[in-house]
Structure 1
Amino acid sequence: MKLLNAAGFLILMPTLMLALDPLSTSIFMGGAAVAWQLLSPYSWLKCSFLECCNMKDTLNFSVLKMDLERKVFGQHLAVQTVLRALSTNVYSKRPKKPLVMSFHGWTGTGKSFVSSIIAENLYQLHIPRRRFVHHFSTVLHFPHASHVHLYKERLQNWIRGNVSACPRSLFIFSEMDQMPHGLIDSIMPFLGYREEIDGVYYGKAIFLFLNNAGGDKITEIALDHWRRQKRREEIPLKELQSLMSEEIFSNLNSGFFRSQLIQKNLIDYFIPFLPLEYKHVRECVREELRSQGHLEDEDLMTEIALAMTDYPSEERLYSSKGCKTVASRVTLST
């Protein structure tokens, strides 16, 4: 309706301009240009002030790559895989299916942080795109296992409605290890290889699942490599991906327990987040000092990183909390 009104307005412009003097005509033309921009659904002016879904992909891949490589510590496997996955989906004119990634690892290893970096870089301009980034917290949104049928209906309606409004919608599901069994299978129709479902195209949507499940197995493999004096960078990605798929499918403490999403291979990437070592935690402390406006304090960085490196009890190689409590420790120590 807005487009029709705008078109009709422009058709009448020549007639209206005949009745105006040159100065009034200039003012009128300027006002008409602004009006057209505000009425057009995806105009640059409207998107400068209001949240709108820009149908043209605007991911600045070089900035995303720089953010991930500079701000995420100790996660070379995750960063490489995320960049490869996003470039394949975003730069495809019409992806055959939505991009689905499942992040696995101990708490504090960067799963939520990487998700936030993706969200910040996915949409044009530097204003929040809250309407197009949808974060589901299992504890908050799906707390009762007895209400699974109600949650299924709501979740389907939410995804259908939001992808209809913006094909490039981002859905983030955190605490997947606590999600009621069977709930996540309700979104299976949206993740498959289909052109459209009831007139809605889902191929540009992105789904991220954040899991602590599988973190212990990932740590076991990383620790085994270290004990065999192998470099962290030599850990094989394929081995970890296969392990994660099997682990969350058979684990009762997983929202993917016997899930059809795994049976039907609808998750494109199982992405491991390795346990963080002393040197990685130290970098987290350095970054937190900067963000809080403090000068770098080598002694404080060493003190906090050493205190947080606590696993296993003999070697004290990894931080069992990752960088989760770094911010509060820096605040208390400065």
Structure 2
Amino acid sequence: MRLTWSLTLLLWGCLIAGAIEPISTSIAVGIAAAVTGFLARYQNVLYYFHECCRPEWISYNRTGFEEALQTKLFGQHVASRVVLKAVTGFMNNTNPKKPLVLSLHGWTGTGKNFVSQLIAESIYRQGMSSGFVHLFTATAHFPHEMNLELYKTQLQQWIKGNVTNCPRSMFIFDEMDKMHPGLIDSIKPYLDFYETLDGVSYRQAIFIFLSNAGGENIVQVALDFWTRGRDREEIELKHLETALSLSVFNNKNSGFWHTSLIDKNLVDFFVPFLPLEYKHVVQCGLAEMAAKGRTPDREVVDLMAHDLNYFPKEERVFSMQGCKIISSRLDFYM
């Protein structure tokens, strides 16, 4: 990299000087020497202009992450608590025994993708745009079951190549409920407790799986709490995690069906995302208006939230769409 930058700067300097007036060979050599000397003395300055696998670009911001979870994620007290502790503990561990593996579950619109984005933003200076954050979507990247063996090979090569390039890489797998069974098992060795595999250590990497599978179990627990008159905030991880892992493991329509990732306990946390209530939809709406540069208007947001679908049908407690469609709906109501 240093040689490339030196040549680039040298060429640039020569072109600029040549555009002004002819220069002698001795002056050109002097410029080259000066540039080379500058780079040798201030080589780290180059890291500020191009993303690389260094602390200037990858550094965990726990305070910012916690604040974002508190102010931008609504109705997910269980997920917020679990994810914050899991990510913080992993990032503060200088010698983890395995990669961090999180599996986020819940109905669409409850915040799974959003939390993945917040995790990326708390670690990588460029967030989801970072060259070290890799997003895979089942229907886009692995659409054809007939190519399953090819996908396995490609996925292994992709992960190995990127972790070799930067040990602190993040891999997000969306639509796990649409993933072909067996595909995700191909990366099992990279999630295990190996110190190295073929000279590569995967222990600093992060793997996040997003899935709608198990959403029914989560909804049922939330509904039971509401029916018995118990407060939503009383729901804890222990009420959901075991049933959730068993549900996705035994679901033939899930990418986790009979997967060794669950069988070998390689998933660190199964994180449940609860169905959102009316008040949470309103909070999302007000936040979205502010994000659009508009003054939050409770009357407009209430009108939009009221027209969405809820269940149980008579009581209208839980939103069926969550916050996913709020951005487009608000454009209509505003």
- Which TM-score bucket, shorter chain as reference? 0.7 to 0.9
Letter aligned with residue 188 of structure 1: K
Larger displacement relative to structure 2 (73-82 or 290-299): 290-299
Task: Give 1:33's aligned residue.
Answer: 38
The question of whether the paired residues in 2 share the 8 Å contact of 1:276 and 1:322 is answered with yes
Amino acid at match of 1:213: A
Between the aligned partners of 1:69 and 1:28, the Cα distance in structure 2 is 53
> What is aligned with 2:49?
49
Residues of 2 paired with 1:89 and 1:211: CA distance?
22
* Distance in 2 separating the partners of 1:226 and 1:148: 43
1:90 is aligned to: 91
Counting only pairs closer than 5 Å after superposition, residues 92-241 of structure 1 correspond to structure 2 as 92-124=93-125, 129-241=129-241
Distance 1:268 1:226 in 2: 29
Q: CA deviation at 1:55?
A: 5.5
Q: Deviations over 1:98-144 (max 9, x none)?
A: 000000000000000010111112124x5765310000000000001
Amino acid at match of 1:312: P
The Cα shift of 1:48 comes to 2.4
Check conservation: 1:241, 1:272, Cα contact below 8 A. yes
Percent of aligned positions with the same letter in both sequences? 46
Summarize the Cα distance change of 1:290–1:94 in structure 2 as closer, same or farther, 3 Å threshold: same
Q: CA distance change for structure 1 residues 36 and 137 in 2, over 3 Å: closer, same or farther?
A: farther
Aligned residue-pair number: 313
Structure 2 counterpart of 1:315, one-letter code: E
Cα 1:168–1:310 change in 2 (3 A) is same
Q: Secondary structure at the match of 1:207?
A: strand
Instruction: Give the match for residue 249 of structure 2.
Output: 249
Cα distance in 1 for residues equivalent to 2:127 and 2:314: 48
Mean Cα deviation higher: 185-194 or 113-122:
113-122
Q: Deviations over 1:268-302 (max 9, x none)?
A: 00000000000100000001111112112121111
Could you give the per-residue CA deviations for residues 2-57 of structure 1, whole angstroms, max 9, x where no partner exists? 58x99xxxxxxxxxxxxx9xxxx9997687334654xx5xx3x3332212111686
Alpha carbons 2:120, 2:128 under 8 Å: kept: no
SS in 1 for 2:295: coil
CA contact 2:120–2:127 (8 Å) conserved in 1: no
Which 5+ residue runs of structure 2 have no aligned equivalent?
7-25
Q: How far has the Cα of 1:309 moved from its partner?
A: 4.7
The equivalent of 1:285 in structure 2 is 285
Which letter does structure 1 place at the counterpart of 2:51? Answer: E
2-side partners of 1:46 and 1:129: how far apart?
Answer: 20
Q: What is the match of residue 15 of structure 1?
A: none
TM-score computed with the length of structure 2 as normaliser: 0.88
2:275 maps to 275
CA distance in 2, matches of 1:121, 1:236: 25
Deviation at 1:168, TM superposition (A): 0.5
Whether the aligned pair in 2 keeps the contact of 1:73 and 1:280 (CA below 8 Å) is: yes
Q: 1:323 — aligned with what?
A: 323
SS in 2 for 1:209: strand
Whole-angstrom CA distance in 2 between matches of 1:92 and 1:80 = 18
1:63 maps to: 64
- Contact 2:136/2:173, CA 8 A, preserved across alignment: yes
Is the Cα contact below 8 Å between 1:309 and 1:319 reproduced in 2?
yes
Amino acid at match of 2:136: F
